[in-house]
Structures are given as structure tokens and as C-alpha cells.
Amino acid sequence: MASSSSVSDVKSTAVVKYSSVKWPLQFSTIGLNTDLNHPPTDPRGLTVYFDRSIPANSNFSKFLSVNMAHSYQDLVGQVDVISSSKSIKSLLKMPFSSSPQISIMVHRLGKTLLLEDFDIVKHIIRKQAEEWTWLRNYYYDVIAKEEKEKQSKCLDGSPANREAILNNMYMNLIRHSFAASENGEACTVVAAQNDPDQLNSFRNTFSKDLKGFHHETLWKFQDISMLIDSDLPIFGGGSSRRPCISLRLRDSRSPPINILTGLDYWLDNLMSNVPEVAMCYHINGFVQKYEVMKTEDIPNLENSSFDPNEVLDIAQNIMSFIKRNAAVEGHTYWLYKSENDEMVKLYDLTDLCKDKIVTGENPFTVPVGLLCHRVARNLRTSGQRRNADSRAMFENCLRLLDDTKYCQECADAHFHLSDMWVPDKSINDIWQEKRRISEPPSDLYDEDSTESDDSSKGDKQEGSPDKTRSETVKKATRGVDSSNEKEMKNSVALKELVVRGMVKKKAWQTVQANRIAGTTDERCREALSHIRKGLNCIDKDLIRVKNESELLKQQPHSPSRVIPLPYAPLNINTKDNNQSSKGGTPQGSKEQEPQMCNPLTPIPMPYHQKAKEEASRNTSKASSSVGTSSGTKETRTAKTKPSASHAPVPDERTRSSTANKETSEEKSWHFQAKFQLLKKASITYFVLAKEFFEIKKFGHTLRHLRYAIHCFEALFELEVNLMKDNQICELQALLFYLAGQTRISLYPNYTAARHDFEELGEEEAAILHSAQAVVPNPKMAWMYEWSPSLHTNLLAARDLFKRASQLPAVSKKPISFQTTLRKDLGACLMNLGSVQTDICKDKILKNDEPLDTIQTYITKCMENFTQAISIFNTLGERNMAAHNYSNMGYMHNLAAAVIHNRLPKDVILHPEEREHVFKAIEYYEKSAKSYEGDESYDPYRQKAYETLYMQYYQMGYQYTDKVANCTDEDLENLKDYLQKSLKYCTLAIQEPFLMKSTSTAANNCLNLAYVVEAELFRTKNMTRRKHLKQKLVEYFLKAIELYKLLKWPMHQIFTVTLWMEGILSEAKNGAGFGSINLPARKKCLRNILCHISDLKQAIDDASSGKANIEERPVYIFHKKDFTGAVDDMLGVLNQTFSAVLKWVSAHQQVKDLYKRTLRMTAMKDDLVSLYPLLSDFLSDLKSALASDPFH
């Protein structure tokens, strides 16, 4: 039911949240002169009363406000006040009369105030309860001294007899009204002369209070929202002429309604949104008449007039006063006003009585602490983004509850706090903001935001996790009028409450909850602190349970009592039992008939029921969070079993039979709670490890991975079928992946990383100890096992990457993650293959292991490279695949070298060796073709070309000493190798490969010339010989040109000399000069002299030191080398001039040149003196060649 009303300018809305009345009861008047001193005689009215009443919910606490907050957890933090209507009316009536005493306990939960009426006479003066000893002492030591009539007040405690009589008559009026509404006619009363037993029976059967009319209403009074309870009887409904009306009893002879009574009637109707009130007048209990008036007319009654707006001002002022001073959550405040006092005060009992309260003495501590826990859980499970509020609630819960008595609630609170600091999604970096995380302002603490924000703008520091509680309290109690004000006034005059905004103007500084914020490291440290404390709670309680169980087992049993066995009875047919009990068997008989087994009925085994209980328990665990029994429902029913830690101790007869059951129940929540905390620890350590990995602190990374993996493995001991949990699978994949990355990255800073890896803090040790209690020796320790060996780390990383990629959770990750994982796996395989390649090289060089062993290592390397190639080709990473093609080529070369080293020296390219060599060439060619056109990869492509031309060059070089004697097939192969080497030399033309490729190309040309000479020597076919001579000239000229480009003068001299020697040799070994006609002879000799004269620049370069410093003796297939090139050149000159002089013997210039060659030949050992003479000689020779003697 929801409706609203407006009285003057006051807006009021009421929504009924709960009512004990099943359906409304129509209003009916009772007959005149009905005696209200006695209940009605008709029992039908009694039946109607009970039929229309719903039994109240079982109490969570003995305090009404706490009970209501527990029942409506969603409203905590949303409404301003939760209280009884009686307390609210007492507060609002204060300024109209200073006589009544006010005593209300106040607690704050976020924005909401819990107001609890506190009877001083009942709890302090009359009842000597130990739980209030501390308050009684404070009352007499402080408060009572301030009162003038302390002694009289102590005696003024019993209710007046007249008030009891009036209450009895009012209850009888309600009963008669019930009966009249059911019967449709007036009811008579029980006559005095009737049977006294009948009279007492009716009196005892009828309810003695108004609990049957109990209802709870969400009342919004202007801008103040309140959840209140009321027992106001309300009649009406249906087609009744009075659809909604309350009923009051007045003495006809009493004075008119005064302002306090009118205000009481008005507020009651306003809170329940009742538009009318029926006044039943009586004289000495006999009904005289009825009078109906509207609720909106009550403030205008004579002698009781009041201004509703003034009442609204009072409400706003008193609430502002309480909220301003009751600023600290979890503290117990006492709003107190003595009789006839003009001041109302608010005492912070938690602070003022801290020396008087022994732990656990404050009766409000546990209910408020449990309520904080359940409200916070409700905020978390309802999906509301109010982490700051939940954090405040959980922290208050931990501050108020004893973790030894309420270990389940405390462990649950620690888990939720850790979950707020490090949510599960943080493993995927899902924060509100990377590294610096904050959240929207809390909606629990936004009251009077303008004043609060302005007052705290200068000194508000957002979300520091290291902020202490004292700083929060100090900030919460700081006023806005003056920043130097040390404490706020805790009292207010009644006359101030009437002035509109009087109290509010003095400031309403609200508590600012700490938000969940900080760097990733700060948040993880906060989460680990709560995880450690939560695990500590569980482990201590497990020890307690174990000790209690041991004590129960050691408990001696009485020999006169039967020890109950843990199995079920053989016959559990309740119908037969009932029939047998009806048959006359005494219920208290000690001896019973033995029950026989039915041969057709299976005997129930004792584990059957336990299996069902365990299944249902597992189901409930899976659908709830840590503290399942800690209040996930709004109310706790009477059938709910108490927490095992608070369960009553069974007697001797039942102790042994219930010990196992209690242990099972304890195990249930302990193991589930530990599972959740260890899971959160694993996530937190993973997040920390990832954070250290990003800043390249790999030792710290591996250390935190160690903790994360240990906690993660413990989860499988606490819960089964975890691999069906997607989050667990995802965490496992991420742990594998990060561990693999870390193992790769440890090299080369092993020393510093090992120091970081071996650190162990106190908090880490405590969490690790708890995980070790579940899994002493983790099977997954190989993931984080320390090793300084790069090879070992790469092997572990390869296995980690492979396992991660095979997990189903990876397929659900983004494509980018899957691609990165596969790339890292490929890179790991490539690096592992490279390290294994170095190992193979060392083994080959040492040559102290069998061939099979070395070949096994080579095979492993090739497998890694092959897998890497497959991965990179699948991903389209051509350049990375090209790298691995080169690596494969290198491995085949190693394999060929292993075979070659074990062959006789005269064997050239054994078949197995040839296979590996050509495989190497194949992979190098693939590598060169696979590189993309990007300029950044040109060096790698050029390196592949270099490897290829050197590969072919070295293949040909094996024929150095065998060219003259090799077969035609070998000679053809040699020629093919050199030509291919020359082809790749022409491709490797970029720096820094140009010099080497040019020199190799020159050597190849020179070697090809030598091969052609050998081929020419074997060829008889003139056409073929002519072609070979042309190729010979081309190769020599190309070689000379390249050496000249390289500025290698000695190689030029050597090449020209070698060429000329070949010409002379061919001429001599052929038909001879005598058979050649004179013109041809002249031309041949003249060509020799011309080519030698062209070496003048080379001689000058060699003489002046302008030659390239990189010129080194490069071995070619000819047996000679360039160190004797000058001597050979002089020999060729001498032979040539000897031949020339045969047809120009009379020419003096030729004779002089010849004589000079002879003199220079004698100086061949003195190159320093020879070079200038030789240079001049070649210059003169070039001039002479242009003259007549050589034409």
C-alpha cells in the first residue's frame, strides 16, 4: 500500500513494507454502554483476530532497530532513520514539553541512523544485568550527578496503575471491535456472575498487546525518509464507508485533547497514512459515543493546535543534530534528556566508556557488527556499485566482532574486502583506470553535499589505503565553521529545535568513506593483508574444532548409558510406529520390542542420508559466497541452525553421535572459506607478479608466481571439478603464460634476480604456510623452480607455453592474446633451438661424445626450429619464419660437419654429408625468399645471401687439390657450385656485406677461370675450345676488374700473371711458336706485354701503401698465391722478351727493356727498391708498345 498526503505545506508519503494483518478488517462501532473492563464473550471474534494475524519474523537481535535493518538490508544506506514510531514521536514532541525523559541509543550505518528506545529504569535502575554494568557506572558517575533529584529519579520507575487500566480498556475496545465487525452486531460482555474459569480462559486467550496490528512503513516526511514500525490498529477496506481509520479511546470527563496528545494522534496517522481517527468516549469503561475527525484537522483542534511546518523543522533539526555528532560508524551513541531539562545531549559511549567496557560487554556490539556484515554482503551481492560503502561496513564489522567467536563472519568480511581491493577481473587488467583506480562518489555519504564538499575540499585526500581509522574519525568530526575547532558541541537546546535550519546552519559534516583506490601494488598489499587475516581466522578455528573433537573422543562414557551408534534404524515406518504407540505401549518404556527386517525391503545404509546432505551442502556452497550461513537471506528463520562455532555443547548421550556431523558442517564452511581466500590470494599474487614483470623485476615476478601457483594448486585439494570453472581455467592459463615469459626473461641478471626471488615477507610466509597446510609439496613447483641455466629455463618456458595454449580457456580469450601466446611460443622454441645449437657446437669441438649422442642433440634442435617455423607460417610471420629457416640451414651444416670430420680426408661430399649440405642450402634459399620487402629486414636477407655464396664457395673449395684429377662430373659440379656462389655474390651488394661479396666474387671468377683452363685442357673439340677460351678471358677480366675495384693490387698482379702464364704455357705445349705465323706470334706476345704494362697503377698502389688494408691472402684452386706475384710477373716478362727478340733482335729499345727486366729480376728480394724501377719500366714498356718494333 502506498499513498501520500499533504498537511499544510508538509509533504508526507507512506509505503507499507510489512503488515501482520493478512487482510483489512472493516470498522464497526460497538454498542453503547458496552463494558470495556472485560473482553467480549463471542469466541468468533477471537478466531478472526488470530486468523488475520501473521506471526512475526524470528528476531535477528533483541533490538528493534537492528532487526528492522536486518530485514530490509537494501534500505540501509538509503533511508535516513530506522526506528520505532514511539522513538520518533518522543523526539518530535520534545520542544512542546520538557517534562518527559528521552533515552535513545543511536548507531550509524552509512547514511542511516538506527534509533533504539532505551529504558533506563528497566536496564539500569531496576534490572541489575551484568551486560549494562559499564553503562550503569557511567550513568551514576556522570549523568546522574548532573541531575538535581538523583534519588527520586531512581525510585520513580514503576508504571502508574491508571495507565495499566487504560491500556486494558483500550485492548478490550479493540477486541470488541473485532467481534462486532465479524458478527455485525454488538457483543455482550462476560457477566461477573459467570463461571470464573470461563472468564479467565477468555482473558488468557486474547492478545494482551497490539502485536497483531504490527506493521512496518517506509515514511517520507518532506525530505526525511524513515523506516518505522507501528502497532496502531487500523480498520477499513473493501466497500466500507470508512476505508481507513484508526481507533482511539478517551474519557468523556477528561479535559480536551492537549497538544501532546493531538501531536501523538496526528503523527500516528501520518506515519501510517490514515486519513481519519475515530474517538470512542467512555465513562468508567462504559461506551458513551463515537466521534470521527480527519487527520488534517487535528493540528487545528482547540487547546491542541500546532503548526505542522514547525514539526517538520523540529524533525529536520533534530536529525541534523544527531547526524552531525553521531559521525563514526560502529560507535554507540546515547541521546539523552533528563526530565524537565531544556537541553538534549548526545554521548559517544564507545569513546567515553572505553575504559569501562570490557570486550564483549556492550550488548549492541555484536548485533551491530553482524548487521554491518550482512548489509555489506547485501550491497555486494545485489550488484550495486557501492564499494566504498561496502568497505566501510565490512571494516566496522571486523572492528566490532571478535574473530575468535565470529570467525566465519570475519573471514567472510576479509574475503570481500580483499575482493574489493583486487577484483577477479583484475587478471585481465579490467580496472576502472589503469594503475590509478577510483570510483564514483558514494551515494551513502552525499547528504548536504554542497556544504560537505566545500568544507572538505582543502583537506580531502581520496582513497589512500594507508589512511588510519583515527584520521577518518578526525575528519568526520571536523566542523565547517572553523578548521581549528577541536570538537563539536554534543548538545542542543530544545528551543533551538523549533527554529528553522537552526542546527543545520551549524554544519552537518558527514562521514566520508574511504574509496577503493590506489596503485596496483597498494591495492594488492591491502588485499593480501585481509587474505592473511582471513586465513588466520579459519586456521585458528580449525584448530579449535580439532581440539574439541579430540576432547569429545577422549570423554569417558558412563557404563550405565548406551552409546548411540551412528547408523539409521532398521524400520523407519512412521505409520507403524504411530499404530504401535496407539496400541498401548508406554512412551517412556525402557525396553522395546526388537524390530525385524523385512526380507523384501532393502536395509537403509547410514551413508545414504549423509550423501544427500553432502550433495545439498555442495549445491548451496556453489551458489553462495564464503559465509553462506552468514545471512544471505533477509531474515533468519527459526529453523536455521546456529553457526557451528556458536552451537550448544551436546550432552553425553548425543555428543558422540553429533561429533562427526558437527565436524562435517565445520569442514563445509571452513573449506569453502579457505578456498575463496586462497583463490583470491592466487589472483592477487598473479596481479603483483604481472606488475613486477612490466617493470622488469623478474626475480620478484617469479617469487610472486611461486606464491600464486602454490595457492592455486591448493584449490584443487579443497574443491573438485574445478576445471569446469571458467575463471579457474583462465587463471591457470595466465599463470602458465606469465611463468613462461618470466623464465625466458631471467637471463642474464641471474644474481640480482635470485636475491629478489629468495625474499620472504612475514605476510607472504603466513599465507604460504596456510597453503602448505593443504598442499605441502606442490606438483607444479617446476613452473617456478629456480635455475641459473638458460637452457633449463627455456625448456620450462616451452612446456609452459605449450600447456597454456592447450587449455580450453585460451580459445575464449581475444584473438590478440592467442596470437601473442603463439608468437611467444615460437620465439621460445627459436631461442631454445639456438641455445641447443651452441651446446651442439661445443660437443662437436670437444669431439668426446659418440656420433649418435650428438645427432640426438641436433635432432632436438631441428624439431624446435621446425615447430617454430610452423607456428610463424601459420601466423603469417614471414620474417620470423625466415630466421628459423636460416637456423635450420645452420643445423644441417653442423650435421654435415659432424659427418665430414669423421670421414677420410680424400672423401669429397659423402652422400650423408651431401644430403645435409643441400638441405642447408634449401633452407637458406627459403630464408632469403621469405623475408619481406621492408628495408629493415635487408640485413637479414643479405646475411642469407652471404651464407649461400659462402656455402657454395666452401663446397667448391674442397676440390682445391683435386681439380686436375677429378672426373668430368665432379668438374661440372664444381663449376656449378662456383657459378651459384657468384650469383648470390651479385645479390649481396649492401653494406656491410659488399666488401666480402665482392672479394668472394673475384675469387670465384678466378677459380672459374682455373676450372675452365682444366676443362680446356681436356677438350679436343675446336668449337668447344673456342667457347671455353672466350669464357676464360671473361673470368680473368672480371676477376681483374673486381680486384681493382677492391684496391687489391697484389691480387691484380697475381691474376694477370697467372693468366699470362697460361697463355705462354698453352702456346708452348701446343704447336709452339714456330708453327704459328709471324703476325699471330707478334699479336700473342704483344697482348702479354700490354696486360702486364696495365699493372703500373697496381705497382704504384702497392708501393705507396694505398692498397686496401683488408687485402689478405685468399686461397684459390691454383697452388700459387699472390705473395710471389711480382717474381712470377718478372719471369713472364723475361720469357716474353726472349721470344720478342727473335723477330726484332736488332731493335735497341727492345734489348734495353729486356736488360732492365733481368736487372729487376736480380732485385726481386728487395721490393722497396724494386717497386720504383718496376713502375718506370712498365711506363716505358707501354710507350714502346706503341712504337714500330711491336707492330
What average pLDDT score do residues 59-86 get? Answer: 86
Share of the chain above pLDDT 90, in %: 23
pLDDT for 1121 equals 53
How far apart (Å, rounded) are the C-alpha atoms in residues 1050 and 1098?
Answer: 7
Q: Do the beta carbons of residue 78 and residue 112 sit within 8 Å?
A: yes
Collapsing DSSP states into helix, strand and coil, what is residue 980?
helix
Question: Among the residues of 184-258, which ranges form H helices?
Answer: 196-205
pLDDT band, residue 3 (cuts 50/70/90): very low
Nearest partner of 985 among 1012, 1009, 950, 941, judged by Cα: 950
Helix (H, G, I), strand (E, B) or coil at 965: coil
pLDDT for position 576: 42
Domain chopping of the chain, boundaries: 2-58+159-309, 1047-1191
pLDDT of residue 782: 92
Q: pLDDT grade, residue 788 (50/70/90)?
A: confident
- pLDDT (tens digit per residue) in 640-671: 333 333 333 333 333 333 334 444 444 568 88
Most confident of 554-558, 633-637, 767-771: 767-771
- Find cell 486467550 and name the residue: 205
Distance, in Å, from the CA atom of 822 to the CA atom of 828, rounded to the nearest integer, reads 10
Query: Residues near 482 by Cβ (< 8 Å), separated by ≥ 6?
Result: none
What is the C-alpha separation between 329 and 397, in angstroms, rounded? 10
Segment 731-737 shows an average pLDDT of: 94
pLDDT average, residue stretch 323-340: 86
For residue 986, pLDDT beyond 90: no
Mean pLDDT of 213-230: 90
Does residue 388 register a pLDDT over 80?
Answer: yes
> Is the pLDDT assigned to residue 533 strictly greater than 90?
yes
Q: How many CB atoms lie within 10 A of CB 328?
A: 18
CB 828 within 8 A of CB 740: yes
Q: Which helix H or strand E contains 1130, and what residues bound it?
A: helix 1125-1140
| 911-930 helix and 938-957 helix, angle to the nearest 10 degrees | 160
Q: How many Cβ atoms from other residues are within 10 Å of residue 545's Cβ?
A: 18
pLDDT at residue 429, rounded to an integer: 78
Scan for cell 592459463, then name that residue: 733
Please say if the pLDDT value at position 886 is more than 80. Answer: yes
Q: Concatenate the DSSP letters of all residues of 759-778 into one string.
A: ---HHHHHHHHHHHHH-SS-
Most confident of 193-202, 657-666, 795-804: 795-804
Average pLDDT over residues 293-303: 89
Q: Alpha helix (H) ranges present in 787-936?
A: 790-806, 808-811, 815-846, 851-875, 878-901, 911-930
Does residue 466 have a pLDDT over 70? no
Strands 245-251 and 276-283, by their bridges, are parallel
Asked whether the bond before 423 is cis by omega within 30 degrees of 0, the reply is no
Question: What is the pLDDT confidence band of residue 889, given thresholds at 50, 70 and 90?
Answer: very high
Angle at CA of residue 623, ends 622 and 628, nearest 5°? 90
**1112 pLDDT more than 90:** no
> Comparing 314-328, 373-387, 561-575, which segment has the lowest mean pLDDT?
561-575
Which one, of 677, 737, 690, lies nearest residue 434 by Cα?
A: 690
SS3 968: helix
Question: What is the predicted pLDDT for the residue at 502?
Answer: 59
CA separation for the pair 1092, 1089 (Å, rounded): 5
Q: Report how far Cα 1113 is from the mean position of its chain's Cα atoms.
A: 66
Mean pLDDT of 1057-1071: 74
How many whole angstroms separate alpha carbon 813 and alpha carbon 810?
5
List the single range of 45-49, 233-237, 331-335, 1030-1034 with lowest mean pLDDT: 45-49
pLDDT, tens only, 629-648: 333 333 333 333 333 333 33
Q: Is beta strand 491-493 parallel, antiparallel or unpaired with respect to 224-230? A: unpaired
Q: How many residues does the chain have?
A: 1191
- pLDDT for 485 equals 42
Cα angle for residues 824, 829, 832 (degrees, 5° grid): 120
Instruction: Give the type of residue at 496.
Output: E
More confident residue, 976 or 609: 976
C-alpha to C-alpha distance for 820 and 875, rounded to whole angstroms: 10
Is 1081 within 8 Å of 1073 (Cβ atoms)? yes
Residue bearing cell 642433440: 857
Q: Is the pTM of this model over 0.95?
A: no
| pLDDT-derived band at 909, boundaries 50, 70, 90 | confident
- Which of the two residues, 30 and 1141, has the higher pLDDT score? 30
